[in-house]
Amino acid sequence: MLNRKITNHTLDNGLEIITEKMDAVRSAAIALSIPAGGCYEPSGKNGIASLLSDLMLRGAGDYDSRALSVAFDNLGVQYHLSPGWHQLTFSAATLADRLPEVLKLVSDVFLRPHLEQKSFEMCKVGREQTLRSIEDEPRQKLMIELRRRTYSPPWNRPSEGSLQDLPEISLQDVRSHFEQCSVPSGAILGIAGDIDAGQIVSHCEDLFKDWDGEAPRLSRGTEPKPDSNHIEHDSTQTQIGIAYRAVPYRDPDYYRAWTAVNILSGGMSSRLFTKVREERGLCYAIGASLNTLKDEARILCYAGTTNDRAQETLEVTIDELKNIDQGVTESELQRCQVRAKSALIMQEESTMARASSLVRNWFHLGRIRTLQEVREQIESVRAEDVLAYARQYPANNLNVLTIGPQPLQVEESA
């Protein structure tokens, strides 16, 4: 037991179950993650995890594809199944008294999916359409390719898959991935809402007791990272992506890093928005985020601009990223903390957010950070802490990628 409202229980087969009782709600949500993300795909078969996430909902247990959808709809479930870089995660929210029935359907999806050839072909067509739509969306393509260039294999593989590898993936590849990765060892089930922890854990023990298997080993890919920092695209716009090293979620300096990024890019009063877009009118969109794997992290920055202002946009953006170590005002810090507290209040009212947070915390930390702990961590950050972090992890050794008609000049010192 972690505290009065948060508990954890490990089944004999290795499945971790973390629950959180939320008194002010009448709903409940679950997040079930298995070690089946893109990093577990064989080299040259990027897209297996995304196809599996599509296919698992096309019939399971006693339900064909339509009947499964109707069963979820009849229970009023909001749900989705999506692949990530490490995990494949099913998330769902419903009324609390319907949770046992929802969990039964979820156990069918994870233990007894049909994975049929007819459904596979339809999923493959749908996946191709999704990937082609990304090719037509330069901003999304830019961030996927930036990640491919800044992380090492297999963590740099797009979770969406790739058009190049898609034709090489067979139904047997997907079935093999499911058999190897849909296992209780390494799986995490987070449940939050108006629940009785003892009753719901007992119910899960009955549903998942026959689930077995060990967590798969990572097959580290050997595919080379592209060495070009520009993708030619005939357009009146240039997309700019910048990546540099940060600290992951489990690092003691995480909230200092988070604060630094939010000062740079946390709303319309942030530095990047104010200095690059509003004061100079250099771009139509700009922002930065902290992207974290289990053992490493990057700050990823994006700017979209016109071709004639692209070079200046790049230079001014890099200057702002570098200059954060020159000073942080108390007003900037206060605005950042107020936004964070507002987000925490909304998370306190969302069962889906809490269930997902339970899984994320357990995966990255092996424990749960309560909302109170998060609040205290954010409130404890001082301006000098942000400066110390920015000087220890400066915006140096930048990985810059552009999409547009012409490459830009990037200083080697960047």
**Residue whose entry in the numeric block shows the structure tokens 């940060």:** 246
pLDDT tens digits, one per residue of 74-122: 999 999 999 999 999 999 999 999 999 999 999 999 999 999 999 999 9
- Give the confidence band of 167 by pLDDT, cuts at 50, 70, 90: very high
Model confidence at 266, pLDDT cuts 50, 70, 90, reads confident
Convert the pLDDT of each residue in 55-68 to its tens digit. Answer: 999 999 999 999 99
d(CA 292, CA 301): 14
Contact 31, 91 (CB under 8 A): yes
Residue 333 has pLDDT above 80, yes or no: yes
Contact 88, 34 (CB under 8 A): yes
User: 308: closest CA among 392, 233, 406?
Assistant: 406
* pLDDT cut 70: percent of the chain above it: 96
Mean of the pLDDT values across residues 258-277?
93
H/E run at residue 232 = strand 230-232
Summary mean pLDDT of the chain: 93
Query: Encoding tokens for residue 32?
Result: 């079930």
Q: What is the mean pLDDT of residues 311-319?
A: 97
pLDDT of 76 reads 95
Sorting pLDDT into bands at 50, 70 and 90, what band is 331?
Answer: very high
pLDDT digits (tens, 9 = 90+) for 168-197: 999 999 999 999 999 999 999 999 999 999
Overall average pLDDT of the 221-235 stretch: 78
> Is it the case that residue 1 has pLDDT exceeding 50?
no
**Which residue is listed with tokens 């003892």?**
198
Q: Which two tokens stand for residue 82?
A: 């999506």
What's the mean pLDDT in 225-240? 88
Q: How confident is the model at residue 138 (pLDDT cuts 50, 70, 90)?
A: very high
Mean per-residue pLDDT for 272-298?
Answer: 95
Q: Tell me the CA distances in angstroms from 276 to 236, 263, 270, 272, 352, one per residue in order.
A: 19, 14, 10, 5, 35
Tokens, residue 343: 């987000």
Q: Which two tokens stand for residue 376?
A: 């205290």
Which residues touch 48 (CB under 8 Å, ≥6 apart)?
41, 42, 161, 169, 173, 174, 177
pTM of the model: 0.93
Q: Within its chain, how far is the Cα of 148 from the centroid? A: 15
Q: pLDDT, tens digit, for every residue of 347-404?
A: 778 999 999 999 999 999 999 998 889 999 999 999 999 999 999 999 999 999 999 9
Residue range 11-46, pLDDT digits in tens: 999 999 999 999 889 999 999 999 999 999 998 999
At residue 299, the pLDDT reads 97
Domains of the chain by range and CATH? 6-208 (3.30.830.10), 230-404 (3.30.830.10)
Nearest to 215 by CA among 13, 6, 12: 13
**Upstream peptide bond of 154 is cis (omega within 30 degrees of 0):** yes
pLDDT at residue 311 in the model: 97
Amino acid present at 311: Q
Which residue(s) pair with 113 in the sheet? 60
CA–CA distance, 114 with 61 (Å, rounded to integer)? 7
CB atoms within 10 A of CB 163: 16
Among 36, 170, 16, CA closest to 109: 36
H helical segments located in 99-220: 99-111, 117-135, 138-150, 171-181, 197-208
DSSP H or E segment with residue 237: strand 237-246
Distance CA 400, CA 60 (A): 44
